[in-house]
Structure 1
Amino acid sequence: MQGDLIKMRQAAATILAQQKQIETKYKQAQTTADDWLRRAELAVQKGEDDLAKEALKRRKAYQEQADQLKTQVDQLSVASGDVLNNTRALEAKLQEARSKKETLKARAASAKTSQQIQEMMSGLNTSNAVVAFDKMEQKVLAMEAQAESTKMLVGSDTVDNRFKALETGTVDDELAALKRGMLPASTSAAGSLPEGRPVQDALDLELEALRRKARAE
């Protein structure tokens, strides 16, 4: 299209140049024909009929030449107009083609980018990613279960300790049991009952031993 446009512009320039040249010749011929007409009129006024006839002959020759040139000028004017119109139409088409070319380039670049993205996405191994996330979830669940078990064990130890404290009792509990005669016999020599001693004396001795033990602690 660019080459055709150059050729059409050259053709239009050639036609316009020819039109201008012929137009100049036409004006010269028409001016000469008009001059011979004035001379013929002058000769008639002066009574020179022969001279007037000669002037009219020359005027006729130049007028015929001018008329022919005028026809060529009109033809070239139509031709140059057509060429100029076609040139403008081709220029518009060329501009449209350039604009479409830029649009297609942009679309091609966008399509290429989209294709590259799709190829990149298709190359990703999503199954491996899913497996990795599943492993992470399993590890987190195991950690949570371990923490919950530890919490339950700590709570169980606390409960056991409380029950042991209740079962063991205090010094006051032992004193009350001692007074009731329900305290188990001690294996120590100091706690043994001497033969022939009353029970009350034995209790006093046991109580005294517990007091000494308490003071020593």
Structure 2
Amino acid sequence: MSLLDRVSTLLRANLNDLVEKAEDPEKLLKQIVLDMENQLMQVKTQVAIAIADQHLLEKKRKEHEQEADEWRRKAELAVEKGNDDLARAALERALSHDQLMHGFAAQAEDQKHEADGLRQALRKLEQKLSETRAQSEMLIAEHRRARVVGRTTKVRQAVGAGQEHAVERLKSRVNIESAENAATAEVMVSESLEDRFKALENHDKVELMLAELKQRKALPR
């Protein structure tokens, strides 16, 4: 994949779609920003090389243009001196330099288009990188907040469940204690009633024993 193709792929990247599919969104976002920074450095290098090549081709074009002009001047001088053969030779050299000049001019124009394309890609990538950094920071913050909210929700659920369990245990304990108190009260009432009957029986026995004692005392000795 060429440099411009890789840049084009990065420019078309949709962070939201990538984040939704990622196991570790924060790591992915940081890697995307790092990749874009690396691509940006490469594009800057390529822009500098393209501009340097354009200047070199333009310099070569100008040199051959000057050489062609110089040989045409010499051809004119040869004609003035009546030396047609020398003039023809000079014109042949001028023609050769003209051809080279046009060749370098065409290459310089092509290189200019290449440099302009790289400049445009560089501007777009710089803008995209700036947007991606901002969006990445926002998405990372949202992801971290979502994790915090998730943990908080789990804690609340756990606390709620614990409180509910504690309330149920308290209710159960109260019910047990109430039942024990009721049973104790019932036993006490039962024991109190039995004691009263027992006391009544004892009273009757005592009265009977007293009557028997009085009766024996009344007998002659």
Q: Which residue of 2 aligns with 1:45?
A: 80
Distance 1:79 1:113 in 2: 49
**Among 114, 121, 136, which residue is 2:149 paired with?**
114
Matched, 1:57 2:92: yes
Residue of structure 2 in register with 1:105 after alignment = 140
Runs (5+) with no aligned partner, structure 1: 133-217
Q: Which residue number corresponds to residue 89 of structure 1?
A: 124
Structure with more of its chain in helix, by fraction: 2
State the 1:95 CA deviation: 2.1
Partner of 1:210 in structure 2?
none
| Deviation (angstroms), 1:63 | 1.0
Aligned residues: 132
Secondary structure class of the residue paired with 1:32: helix
Query: Paired residue for 2:38?
Result: 3
Counterpart of 1:30 in structure 2 is 65
- Per-residue CA deviations over 1:62-107 (Å, capped at 9, x if unaligned) read 1111111111111111112112222222222222221111011111
Aligned to 1:14: 49
Q: TM-score, normalised by structure 1?
A: 0.52
- Runs of 5+ unmatched residues, structure 2: 1-35, 171-221
Question: How much does 1:115 deviate?
Answer: 2.2
Looking at structure 1, the residues matched to 81 and 148 of structure 2 have their Cα atoms a distance apart, in angstroms, of 95
Higher relative contact order (CA 8 A, sep 6+): 2
Shift, 1:118, TM fit: 2.0
In structure 1, how many angstroms separate the alpha carbons of the residues matched to 2:83 and 2:114? 46
Give the aligned partner of residue 166 of structure 1.
none
Q: Is the radius of gyration larger for structure 1 or structure 2?
A: 1
1:69 pairs with one of 104, 110, 113: 104
- Report % sequence identity: 29
Cα deviation 1:135-162 (Å, max 9, x = unaligned): xxxxxxxxxxxxxxxxxxxxxxxxxxxx
Deviation at 1:19, TM superposition (A): 1.9
- The whole-number CA distance in structure 2 between the counterparts of 1:83 and 1:25 is 22
Residue type at the aligned position of 1:85: Q
User: Once the two structures are superposed, what CA deviation does each residue of 1:156-210 show, in whole Å capped at 9, x if it has no partner?
Assistant: xxxxxxxxxxxxxxxxxxxxxxxxxxxxxxxxxxxxxxxxxxxxxxxxxxxxxxx
The match for 2:115 is: 80
Matches within 5 A, 1:167-206: none
Q: What is the TM-score when the length of structure 2 is the normalising length?
A: 0.51
The residue that corresponds to 1:181 in the other structure is none
